[in-house]
Amino acid sequence: MRTDAVRNLDAVLQAGARLLAEDPGTSVSAIAAAAGVDRRTVYRRFPNRDALLCGVFQAKLDALDDAITQSRLTEAPVGVALHKFVEGAIRVSRAYPVGTEQMGCSSSAVEKLLEQRERIETFLRRAVDEGLIRTDLPDGMAWTLLYGIVSLVAHQFTDLEGGRAADLAVEILLGGIGTS
């Protein structure tokens, strides 16, 4: 794709994510206007609003994959990997604020979402094994708390920049389920 086409696509996906999170009934025309492109530009890539929503989710999943990879969940020290992941997850959540409850697209997107969750839960089990997280939590609680705290910090405390937001989220997570 040409540079301007990539830039336009990114603008459409980010505007679509923001507007669809605010109002799932947002029109393609409104999304195009917010992205600074003509609606025909959007329709060339996405035949309808549902296809655009799927595109937004795919972009969000791709960005989260990058955040997971960059955090080096299996190689880096647990505390470092946790902070790096949370910082990336907050950035992704802010860029693509649509929730998974709005996701009604392809089964491959759902599979990717489940695969990402499994990678994060595997990492959290590593955190338990290394003594950073309590061992007596019910299955899935650490992931649920992590997801909820990231979402809370990303969307309710938007004045906090990425690093400080991640610091706060990790402090809250480990203070609530940490071993100390």
Q: Are residues 168 and 122 located together in one domain of the fold?
A: yes
Q: Are residues 99 and 22 located together in one domain of the fold?
A: no
Integer angstrom CA distances of residue 104 from 60, 67, 109, 142: 14, 23, 9, 26
Query: Is 74 strand, coil or helix?
Result: coil
64-101 exposure pattern, b = at least 16 Cβ within 10 A, e = fewer: beebbeebebeebebeebbbbbbbbbbbbbbbbbbeee
Q: Are residues 109 and 91 located together in one domain of the fold?
A: yes
Q: Are residues 39 and 62 located together in one domain of the fold?
A: no
What pLDDT does residue 4 have?
Answer: 81
Number of domains in the chain: 2
What CATH number did the domain enclosing 12 receive?
1.10.10
What angle is formed at CA 80 by the lines to CA 90 and CA 109, rounded to 5 degrees? 45
What's the pLDDT tens digit per position in 136-173? 999 999 999 999 999 999 999 989 998 999 999 999 99
Q: Are residues 170 and 151 located together in one domain of the fold?
A: yes
Q: Are residues 74 and 106 located together in one domain of the fold?
A: yes
What pLDDT does residue 179 have?
Answer: 67
Q: Are residues 158 and 141 located together in one domain of the fold?
A: yes
Q: Are residues 22 and 107 located together in one domain of the fold?
A: no
Query: Which residue range is the domain that position 37 belongs to?
Result: 1-47
Integer angstrom CA distances of residue 49 from 18, 52, 80, 123, 138: 14, 5, 39, 35, 39
pLDDT at 69 over 90: yes
What's the pLDDT tens digit per position in 87-113? 999 999 999 988 776 666 777 888 898
Q: Are residues 40 and 73 located together in one domain of the fold?
A: no
Average pLDDT, the chain: 90
Q: Are residues 70 and 154 located together in one domain of the fold?
A: yes
Q: Are residues 100 and 23 located together in one domain of the fold?
A: no
Task: Give bridge partners of residue 133 from the DSSP assignment.
Answer: 178
Q: Are residues 26 and 93 located together in one domain of the fold?
A: no
Alpha helices in the chain (DSSP H): 3-22, 28-35, 39-45, 49-71, 78-95, 107-129, 141-156, 162-177
What CATH number did the domain enclosing 160 receive?
1.10.357.10
SS3 sequence of 114-162 = HHHHHHHHHHHHHHHHCCCECCCCCCCHHHHHHHHHHHHHHHHCCCCCH
Query: Is 178 strand, coil or helix?
Result: strand
70 against 25, higher pLDDT: 70
